[in-house]
Amino acid sequence: MRMNAFWRSVVIMAFLAFMIIPLIATFMFSISTRWDRSLLPEGLTLEWWKTVTSRGAFLLTIKNSFYISLATAFALGVLVTPTVYWAYIKLPRGKVIFEVMSAFSFGIPGVILALALIRFYSGVPLPLINTTNILLLACMELSFPFMYRPVANALDSIDVRTLTEASQSLGGNWLQTLTRIILPNIMPGVMSGFLLVFSTVFAEFTLTNLLIGARFKTFPIYLVEFTRFDGRQASALAVISFVMAWAVSLLILWVTRKRAIPTGGGPVAGH
């Protein structure tokens, strides 16, 4: 047992080192005056951080990235959660369709997806091309598996049919059953999907660059612009992006725990 605990600690420490050391190195490079002739930086400065944060596009790109990331995560949560729950109750065999749909995003490169969406929506009589609407739809298609899989796993972990029948026997309708019985039990899965979708869309570059480009500049596009002439400034933006993603994730988890809906007691149908 002691040997197993030892190797478990070794694996955990190795994993943490693998994840943290690159971030520390990126941060050190972003505050170095020069770091190409020795093992350690030759000097430290915050000049590169001032340069990237003083431009007007900095706050604008952050706002755009937050907007498209939160909108995509919210839209997928509202769309996927009730749909998958309905499929589990009314159409159990339909889960295969969701599995196939979720595989598309992993098998189709972003370039092909962007071109296919442009060709398809160019024939639709709606104002989608060259707008944030098409970017939102593309991001939803790209990140669909990251919302579907956590929600499906959460539904698999509970007895959906028994809970639904119990709610209906007490007079609860479909919406009440979903919002007051099912959703509180699968909330960890829904929030996991929300965070996965948010982090995926926040770092998305290919779709944004091909579908909209400079008309709706996001933070990854802003970062790539700096990689073309100064890696230290790009490193500063990379650290900022990582910190923001972690801060938002922790904030969402904290708010979710504070506002957790109690699952015990209380009538279903409001008697």
In a domain? residue 131: yes
Domain span holding position 229: 43-260
Q: Kindly state the tokens that stand for 99.
A: 């599995």
In a domain? residue 79: yes
In a domain? residue 23: no
pTM of the model: 0.79
Question: What CATH number should be reported for the domain holding residue 67?
Answer: 1.10.3720.10
Q: At what angle do helices 47-54 and 56-90 cross, to 10 degrees?
A: 70
The larger pLDDT score, comparing residue 188 to residue 265, is at: 188
The larger pLDDT score, comparing residue 41 to residue 137, is at: 137
**152/85 Cα distance (integer angstroms):** 8
In a domain? residue 38: no
In a domain? residue 75: yes
In a domain? residue 4: no
How far is residue 165 from each of residues 20, 63, 85, 174, measured CA to CA in Å?
A: 48, 44, 13, 10
Confidence of residue 3 (pLDDT cuts 50, 70, 90): low
In a domain? residue 33: no
**155/161 Cα distance (integer angstroms):** 10
Specify the number of domains making up the chain. Answer: 1
In a domain? residue 251: yes
pLDDT for res 168: 87
